[in-house]
Structure formats: structure tokens, C-alpha cells
Amino acid sequence: MHVAIICLPAAGHVNPTLPVVAELVRRGHRITYATSAKYGKAVESSGAIFFPSGEDLTTHLPWRTVAADDGPSPMSGMFAGMEPGMMSGLLERILEGTRAEFPALLGRLTADPPDGVCYDAMTLSGKMAAAKLALPDIALLPSYATNEHFSMQDLMPGPPPAGMLEAWKQVGQLINDFTTEQGVGHLQFMGGPPASLNISFIPREFQPSGETFDGRFHFVGPCLGVRGNEDGWRPRMRDMPLLFISLGTTPLNDRPDFFRMCLEAFIDSPWQVAMAIGERVEASELGDIPDNVEVRPFFPQLEVLRHASAFLSHTGMNSTMEALYFAVPLVAFPLQPEQQANARRVEDLGLGRRLPAEGLSPELIRETVVNVSGDQLLRGNLEAMSTRVRGSGGAPAAADAIEDFLLTRVSQG
């Protein structure tokens, strides 16, 4: 079969799909994969035919965090650290990108029709292409699924600010106008009825109200595989516990003060530390680097987690699932609403603890890491969840679901 995959151009969305692509290719299927050029090499390494579409969202969005010296944030709780226009800015950028990329994508899929379209749940162009060409639709869910029993709002301690809701509503209307203009009617983006098939990259046990999701949803857990950036990393010292620190790949990861606190927390400690500081912080900003700390912009995360005793993370869903796969205790330092929701879920299930947004200190960071790594009850919860994660099926289960769904559709004409 020929399967089209249209993915949001961001690492946390692309990475879970690549092992699924590799598995489908191994089974003899042809994959056309559309996303930004930044991920072209990784896509081709998985065996897919790469089609450049869109640009990397992490470098083309109006991201901004509210710094400590900005004074009190106008938001609180789940939305602390975000400007009212941030979420609407994301939708505006997705709409702008869709306007630019949809004609070429539609042309490609019209000239070489696939048997079905898999699209990231946040990729408007994919949902539109499936509707426009009347093709079987498969949603790829890197985070929580939604039905009549659960939505992301259920994990949030309070409603978003009024200004954010109004901005979101206005952009939503622009999206509806565009989908109508393109002849696909009123497509409710990021919501509305689920796709005919939904592949979720988390286990059912991590999904709130997981037992309420019907057969249209397959919870296959994290799909781990080659990403084209592995470098055979190994710990420098095998007789010391390893702490991995990473706040992800988004522009919100611009926290030199946080990384300096981490250095102070673990200098002259019995821990070795692998600290990923991202692309927006220079190592020179951090001062002297202790001998027990290795600093890079990024590490091959899967390789580090294989050896880690604790993971100080932003709790993006991709990172959270990978930590659970390897049963690594989590210390959460979330930077945005979805990550806050993940951190809350991690705490609720007894899989880690969350650092406070205020009053953070080197002493508190170190104390939390040490306590989490030595908590035997938490370790037991992690081992149980790791077993469930590894038993969810991963890439082979996702490929089975896609094959069965599309073969049924093909046989039905």
C-alpha cells in the first residue's frame, strides 16, 4: 500500500512516527512523508519518500516566556509564563503555513494518490487533504486523546485567561473560513469528532479515562527507534549515578539561570550529570563547568536514558514516555501548559515529582533529585508502568492497526 504521513514539523511530533514508518516500509509498504526540511534526513533514514512541506515551528513562532524580572505574570497556574497571544500565535502560524503548503501537498497526493492519510493531530493540512481527497483518515496522537469523557482541560487547574480564549476563537474562525474556501466544509481543528482511526503514542494506563476510549483508538505507547542522531554515547563514570537534565527543543528552553542552579546543585556531589542546554543557551553563559558535568546543546536522549538514575525534564510527552519506558524517575520542570498537564499526571500516578515554579534553589533541586531517585515506592510504580509501556505494542502495533484499517477500506472499495 501507499500511505501518506503529514506531520507537524517539531521533534516531539516527528520522532514517535519514524519507527512506525520504518516498520511499514519493512513490511513492503510505500510511505510519502511530508514535513519540514529540518527532518528530511531522519525521514529518509526511516525508508520513507520525503516531501518537503512547511517550516520548523520551533524556530518560526512568536514564543516568549515571562522572565523573572518582568514582574508578576498576568497569568497563573497552568498558563504561567505564557503571553495571551502565544497559543493563538501557534494557530495563526499553523494556518499561515497551511495556506502556503496545502496546494503543493494536495497536488502531490492527487498525482500519486495514497491508500490513506495519516496526519498529526495538530497538522491542519493533513486533515484537510484526507477530507478533500475522500481518503481514509488516520490521526497520530503524540499526546492525550480526547473523547466525551476527557479533554486536556481536565488536567488544568483553572481556565485559561479570557484574552487567550478570545484570541483562540478569532483564529479558529479564520481556520474555518479557510477550510470552507478549500471545499472541505467546517473542519473543527484540534477537536471535534475523532478520526476513523487514532494511533496514540502513550499507553492506555497513562491516558486519563483510558477505559472509555472505543475501538477507534489504539494506545500503542512510545515508538522508539533510530532517529539519525545517535552517537554511541556512554557515561564517563560507570560507578556514579547519572542525572540527565533536558528541557526539550522548543524556544521556551532559554533558561541559563536554571542551568546555573543545576550546576551549583551538583558540584562536588556523588552524581555525574549530562545536561542538555538547547540551542539558545551558550555553555560560556554558565561559568565554570564541574568535572562531573557534561554539557552539550543536545544528547542522544534514548542512549542517555538507558543509563540514567533520574531525569530532570520539562515533561514533554515524548520525553515523559521515554523516561517511563526505561523506568527512570522524573523530576518535572514544565515550561508550558501541556507539559504542566504531563507533570501533574506523573505526580498523580506516583512516577515522579514536580519542582515549584517559584522559590527554586540549588538545594531544592538536589534534594528533589536525590529523594526521587531513592524512593522505593515510586520505583515500584515506575517498574509497573514501564512494563505496561513496553507491553503496549509500539511501532509493530501501530503498523498492524494501520494495515488492518486500510486493507479493510480497500476491500470495501
Query: What tens digit of pLDDT does each residue of 277-336 get?
Result: 988 899 999 999 999 999 999 999 999 999 999 999 999 999 999 999 999 999 999 988
pLDDT exceeding 90 applies to what percent of the chain?
A: 65
Q: Is residue 384 part of a domain?
A: yes
Phi-psi region of 137 (alpha: psi -120 to 50; beta: other; left: phi over 0): beta
Q: Are residues 184 and 63 in the same domain?
A: yes
Q: Is residue 229 part of a domain?
A: no
In 203-343 the beta strands, taken as DSSP E runs, fall at: 217-219, 242-246, 272-276, 293-296, 310-313, 330-332
pTM across the whole model: 0.87
pLDDT at 100: 86
Q: Letter for the amino acid at 235?
A: P
Q: Are residues 267 and 211 in the same domain?
A: no
Q: Is residue 35 part of a domain?
A: yes
Q: Are residues 103 and 170 in the same domain?
A: yes
Q: Are residues 67 and 138 in the same domain?
A: yes
Q: Is residue 231 part of a domain?
A: no
The secondary structure element, H or E, covering residue 197 is strand 197-200
In the DSSP assignment, the letter for residue 81 is T
Among the residue ranges 75-84, 97-106, 267-276, 340-349, the one predicted with the least confidence is 75-84
CB within 8 A of 60, min separation 6: which ones?
93
- Please answer whether residues 165 and 88 qualify as being in contact, where contact means their C-beta atoms are separated by less than 8 angstroms: no
- Cell numbers linked to 403: 494495515
Q: What is the mean pLDDT of residues 200-211?
A: 97
19/25 Cα distance (integer angstroms): 10
CATH of the domain at 313: 3.40.50.2000
Q: Are residues 130 and 255 in the same domain?
A: no
pLDDT at 191 over 70: no
Q: Are residues 359 and 402 in the same domain?
A: no
- How many separate domains does the chain show? 2
- Cell numbers linked to 157: 487547574
267/50 Cα distance (integer angstroms): 45
Q: Is residue 236 part of a domain?
A: no
Q: Are residues 86 and 204 in the same domain?
A: yes
49/4 Cα distance (integer angstroms): 10
Bridging pattern class, strands 293-296 and 272-276: parallel
Q: Is residue 100 part of a domain?
A: yes
Q: Are residues 363 and 397 in the same domain?
A: no
- Please answer whether residues 208 and 281 qualify as being in contact, where contact means their C-beta atoms are separated by less than 8 angstroms: no
Radius of gyration of the chain (CA): 21
Could you give the residue ranges of the DSSP H alpha helices within 211-336? 256-266, 301-305, 317-325
Q: Is residue 16 part of a domain?
A: yes
Domain that holds residue 120: 2-221+393-411
Q: Are residues 279 and 377 in the same domain?
A: yes
Q: Are residues 31 and 136 in the same domain?
A: yes
Q: Is residue 226 part of a domain?
A: no
In 258-394 the beta strands, taken as DSSP E runs, fall at: 272-276, 293-296, 310-313, 330-332, 352-354
249/14 Cα distance (integer angstroms): 12
Q: Are residues 18 and 151 in the same domain?
A: yes
